[in-house]
A and B are shown apart, each in its own frame.
Chain A
Amino acid sequence: MSRVELINVSKQYGPLRVLNDVSLTIETGEVIAIIGRSGSGKSTLLRCLNGLEPIQSGTIMIDGVKVNDPDTDLRKLRQNVGIVFQSFNLFPHLSVSDNITLAPRLVLKQSPDQARKIAADVLARVGLADKIDAMPQQLSGGQQQRVAIARSLAMNPQLMLFDEVTSALDPELTGEVLRVLEGVAREGMTMILVTHEMGFARHFATRIVFMHEGKVWEQGPVAETLSHPQTAELKSFLDAVLN
């Protein structure tokens, strides 16, 4: 059973078709970099995977569970699918520790002590062990995003989605976030990243998925796809972002 399976997925906002017959299969342990121009449907695709956005036709399966089925308990699904957003979306009224432990306590019913131990552990993994009692607004953007990643990790997900997680950061702060992502990838996490960081994609992704006009336009192993694009659209996109 594949970790993620999309079969002929289409999605519209009114007359605008943002996903057009997308099919894609992702196996456990893969690191997928989704690239493409703004408006190509990359972020929408990611948001459909954990049910934040409904789809109009097709099927999305995660670990054999159909996401777009009204009978599916999305909450249960989301415990296994972490998502990290471009704008961090930390809870500003809660400390770093409470941001991380909220869901483990409420959803996984962990005791406060147990949850706090896990928070310390995931913070150490993102290099912020000393910030456990800080408030989000005391942290830099890069640190906030690392806390957001730690918050996701604390739920021990089987799949992690990253939606342009470095796009809102100053260039000197993207490095620290990318290093955290590298660490997560090395631990064998199945990851899907919508990204503009071609350097990161080249080194850590196992596969490139290029989206164009709501379709998976081209995909394949990273090195080969980036050095020998098959379609004119990917070629011109790569020329634009690499130069």
Chain B
Amino acid sequence: MIREFGTGDIVYLVFAARWTLALTALAFAGGAIVGLTLAVLRISPLAPLRFLASLYIQIVQGTPLLVWLFLFYFGLSIAGLPVNAWTAAALAYSIYGGAFLGEIWRGALIAVAPTQWEAGASLGLTYVQQMRHIIMPQAVRIATPPTIGFLVQLIKNTSLAATIGFVELTREGQLTSASTYKPFAVYITVACIYFLICFPLTQWSRRLEERFNVAR
């Protein structure tokens, strides 16, 4: 039986959006750990570490996120390691997010003037102390606007997790659309919810960017 698309459905969609946000948070946290590691390795004084980090980034940026989702969800279960949609999504998004955040953060780290490293080294600080107390605090300011920009991409890309049966905002939209047969109204609602989440973030990022450009 086909039912009407009513307020109850909108409420369901809004509730489903929390899984979008939860997946985003998980993906961002995982991606941040991987990304920070990659960024630091990418500017390491040791060439083999730089090479490995760069290889990782090339591979991940050269492959679709959807393939990583399928690989972990379907691939691992066939390999005898059945994982649920949460685990598969968390792994795939961490790998994917790490590669992009790694590049953004590497750019921020090398944007800090080399003379800042020199000043730290000349005072007898270790490499790690220079990184921790001099380079990173300055890089964070540079990296914040593009990082928020990536976060917005990530929020939208969590919709791909619908393909492995993860019920977030887009998947809930598909289900609602199927039972109400009102795809236009349903997907407009879904798009509005995504927009309401993303718009404040893009505005925030733009403001930070302006402030940063003024500060320089």
A contact residues vs B (CB 8 Å cutoff): 50, 52, 74-76, 78-79, 81-83, 85, 87, 89-93, 102-103, 106-107, 151-152, 155
**Docked pose: A93 CA to B113 CA in angstroms:** 13
Establish whether residues B134 and A106, one from each chain, have CB atoms under 8 Å apart when the complex forms. no
Per-residue CB contact flags for chain B residues 69-94 toward chain A (1 = under 8 Å, else 0) read: 00000000000000000000000000
User: With A102-B133, A106-B133 known to touch, is A89 a contact of B115 (CB < 8 Å)?
Assistant: yes
Contact of B115 among A79, A87, A152 (CB under 8 A): A87
B191 contacts the other chain (Cβ, under 8 Å)? no
Of B21-29, B120-128, B181-189, the segment with at least 4 beta carbons within 8 Å of chain A is B120-128
Q: Are A103 and B118 in contact (CB under 8 A)?
A: no
Q: Which residue of A79, A87, A92 has the most chain B CB atoms within 10 A of its CB atom?
A: A92
Give the residue name and chain of the A residue nearest to B133 (CB).
Answer: A102
- Min Cβ gap B96→A in Å is 31
A52-B118, A79-B123, A91-B120 given. 13 additional CB < 8 A pairs? A50-B122, A52-B122, A75-B126, A78-B122, A78-B123, A78-B124, A89-B119, A93-B137, A102-B125, A107-B125, A107-B129, A151-B123, A155-B123
Sample (10) of A-B pairs whose CB atoms are under 8 Å apart: A52-B121, A78-B124, A89-B115, A89-B118, A90-B119, A91-B119, A102-B123, A102-B133, A107-B123, A107-B129
A107 to B122, CA, bound (A): 11
**Residue of chain B at shortest CB distance from A108:** B124
Q: Pick from A52, A87, A103 the residue with the most CB of B within 10 Å.
A: A103
The answer to the question of B116 belonging to the interface, with a C-beta cut-off of 8 Å to chain A, is yes
Task: Please indicate the chain B residues that have their CB under 8 angstroms from the CB of A155 in the complex.
Answer: 123-124
Provide the bound-state CA to CA distance between A155 and B118, in Å.
Answer: 16
Please classify the interface of chain B as helix (H, G, I), strand (E, B), loop, or mixed, using the class held by over half of its residues: helix
- How far is B122's CA from A52's CA once the two chains are assembled, in angstroms? 8
Chain B residues at the A interface, C-beta cutoff of 8 Å: 113, 115-116, 118-126, 129, 133-134, 137-138, 141
Chain B neighbourhood of A79, CB < 8 A = 123-124
CB distance from B54 to the nearest CB of A (A): 25
In the complex, which residue of chain A has the Cβ closest to the Cβ of B126?
Answer: A75
Complex partner residue of A85 from B119, B137, B138, CB under 8 angstroms: B119
Q: Which residues of A contact B121 (CB under 8 A)?
A: 52, 74, 78
- Interface pair A103/B124, CB less than 8 Å apart: yes
Which of B119, B122, B138 has the largest number of chain A CB atoms within 10 A?
B122
Closest Cβ of chain A to B130, distance in Å, is 10
A92 to B124, CA, bound (A): 19
CA distance A23 to B113 in the complex (A): 32
| Chain B residue with Cβ nearest A100 | B123
Instruction: Please pick, from A76, A83, A87, A92, the residue contacting B122 in the complex, using a CB distance under 8 A.
Output: A83
A151: nearest chain-B partner, CB-CB: B123
Q: A90 to B122, alpha carbons, bound, how many Å?
A: 12
Give B63 Cβ to nearest chain A Cβ, in Å.
37
Neighbouring A residues of B113 by C-beta, 8 Å: 89
Q: Which of A75, A89, A90, A91 contacts B124 (CB 8 A)?
A: A75
Measured CA separation A92–B115 after assembly (Å): 12
Please determine whether B116 and A107 come into contact, CB atoms closer than 8 angstroms.
Answer: no
Give the nearest-CB partner of B123 in chain A.
Answer: A103
Cα–Cα, bound, A102→B116 (Å)? 13
Q: Give complex CA distance A153, B88 in Å.
A: 56
Residues on the B chain within 8 Å of A87, using CB:
115
Partner of A75, one of B125, B137, B141: B125
